[in-house]
Amino acid sequence: MISVNDFRTGLTIEVDGDIWRVIEFQHVKPGKGAAFVRSKLRNLRTGAIQEKTFRAGEKVNRAQIDTRKMQYLYANGDQHVFMDMETYEQIELPAKQIEHELKFLKENMEVYIMMYQGETIGIELPNTVELKVVETEPGIKGDTASGGSKPAKLETGLVVQVPFFVNEGDTLIINTSDGTYVSRA
Map out the domains of the chain as residue ranges.
2-62, 66-124, 129-184
pLDDT confidence of residue 110: 92
Instruction: Judge whether residue 155 has pLDDT over 60.
Output: yes
pLDDT confidence of residue 7: 87
Q: In the CATH scheme, what architecture does the domain 66-124 have?
A: Beta Barrel (2.40)
d(CA 123, CA 68) in angstroms, rounded, equals 9
Instruction: Judge whether residue 9 has pLDDT over 80.
Output: yes
Which pTM does this prediction carry? 0.72
Beta-carbon contacts of 17 under 8 Å, excluding residues fewer than 6 positions away, are none
pLDDT confidence of residue 142: 60
Instruction: Judge whether residue 11 has pLDDT over 70.
Output: yes
Mean pLDDT of the chain: 87
pLDDT confidence of residue 10: 81
Q: Is the dihedral of CA 72, 75, 81, 86 positive or negative?
A: negative
Per-position b or e across 138-162, b if 16+ CB within 10 A of its CB? eeeeeeeeeeeebebebeeeeebeb
Q: Which fold has domain 2-62?
A: SH3 type barrels. (2.30.30)
Of 142 and 181, the structure prediction assigns the larger pLDDT to 181
Instruction: Judge whether residue 143 has pLDDT over 60.
Output: no
Instruction: Judge whether residue 144 has pLDDT over 70.
Output: no
CATH class of 129-184: mainly beta
Instruction: Judge whether residue 162 has pLDDT over 80.
Output: yes
Q: Would 2-62 and 129-184 be classified into the same CATH topology?
A: no
Range of weakest confidence among 46-50, 60-64, 79-83: 46-50
pLDDT confidence of residue 71: 93
